A and B are shown apart, each in its own frame.
Chain A
Amino acid sequence: MKWKGIGYLVIFDVVFLTALWLFGEYLLEE
């Protein structure tokens, strides 16, 4: 098991989920 790869995946998920939470409202603008 490569924990470094798991770490990358967790970081990617957390960063993009936070960005979506913060800026998601603007994506729904018409």
Chain B
Amino acid sequence: MSLFSNTAVLLGKELRTEFRSRELLTTTVVFILVVVVLFSFTFDASSAESQRFAASLLWLAFLFAASLMLQPCFLREQSNDTLSALRLSVKDPFAIFAAKLSANTLFLLLTELLMLPVFSVLFNVPVFPVIGRLVLVLFLGSLGVSIAGTALSAISAQARMRELLLPLLLFPLLAPVLAASTQVTVGCWTLRLS
């Protein structure tokens, strides 16, 4: 089997596992909703200040959601030692990473797209007129977060203080992605507002 067919089979397994339990998506959506609502109490939605800080708050909320979502990525495979079975079943080990990072990107994008209308209302920022550009930024940003996060999740899954290690390694590593994503998101909104 080629890399693509292996990846497709493993991606199907990841999606089935998640959509059967829905534990990861539900938890993340509720968590990110609470974070965004709490952020919205700080700023007056009608002010220009709110629109200026909205992009950084949006990406900060997505970062928190990603750290929550990426944690069980490889931990699931530890309980019954299914990682060894996965490694034996594929020719190229990259297929395991490709499937997991594709699934993480999809889950993260789904969460972000669900949150955008809520965020638009709470922070009074134009989301729908610039949805095409926003989807491009969200896709590239989420892909970057997922790639780095999946690699670090594999490293931290075998460590002793794994719950602490992943955010500790992930946040500094994702600083360039967050800076670039925030800059482009602000660019999308100011282009529309000006």
Q: Which residue numbers of A lie inside 8 Å of B, CB to CB?
A: 1-2, 4-6, 8-10, 12-13, 16-17, 19-21, 24-25, 27-28, 30
Contact = CB atoms under 8 A, between A and B. Distances in A.
A2 B181 CA distance: 10
B176 interface: yes
B-side interface size class: 20 to 34
Given A6-B136, A10-B140, A30-B158, A1 B184 contact: yes
B151 interface: yes
A5 B94 contact: no
B35 interface: no
B133 A17 contact: no
Contacts of B87: 28
Nearest to B150: A20
B184 A6 contact: yes
Contacts, number: 73
Interface in B140-182: 140-141, 143-144, 147-148, 150-151, 154-155, 158, 176-177, 179-181
Nearest to B143: A13
Given A2-B184, A20-B97, A28-B83, A9 B144 contact: yes
Given A1-B184, A17-B147, A12 B97 contact: no
Interface in B12-45: none
A15 B18 CA distance: 29
